[in-house]
Amino acid sequence: MIEIKEMFPNEINIVQDIAYKTWPVTYQRILTTEELQYMLNAFYSLEALNENLNSGHHFLLAKAKDKPLGFASYVHNHPEKLTTKIPKIYVLPETQGKGIGRLLIEKIENEARKNQMTTITLNVNRKNPAKTFYENLGFTAVREENIPIGNNIFQEDYVMEKSLG
């Protein structure tokens, strides 16, 4: 049985652990080793994750029998009014394809509706096959975006949206 629960601030190291196990598999064909390490350090240091928490991000943890399987973060009204943004969602590679990502998205959709949001948005790398996963959940690519990360690295993403109407 998979449980989706709100994470406590003292559990943020679980997010870091999952990211460090997931990113090398997810991005091995997309990023160089140096880019991967730079981005992990930028996005998943304990300081960066705590900054996310302090700026209104909610973190969800998917687990089974106390074993962490994946996580997601979301923030309401970001950046557009009535929009919930999903900045992070990752499931351990060995547990992908078991419905965990779908459960995380469904929980975020429910929270967005409770908060009168009308749209959910997320970014996915243009070379990431997860785009198909999001499309199967009702998301549509609405534009492309190149986001400078630093160190001459850009996130080359699709911005995807799903209407909750």
- The per-residue pLDDT for range 37-96, each reduced to its tens digit, is 999 999 999 999 999 999 999 999 999 998 999 999 999 986 667 999 999 999 999 999
CA atoms of 86 and 64, how far apart (whole Å): 22
CA atoms of 26 and 164, how far apart (whole Å): 28
Residue 2 and residue 63 in contact, taking contact as beta carbons nearer than 8 Å: yes
Quote the tokens at residue 83: 């929009």
75 within some domain: yes
Domain residue limits at 10: 3-118
22 within some domain: yes
Supply the mean pLDDT for the chain: 93
- CATH of residue 43's domain is 3.40.630.30
8 within some domain: yes
Instruction: Report the number of distinct structural domains present in the chain.
Output: 1
The pTM of the full predicted model, rounded to 2 decimals, is: 0.93
Q: What is the per-residue pLDDT for 152?
A: 80
124 within some domain: no
153 within some domain: no
Nearest to 157 by CA among 134, 136, 138, 15: 134
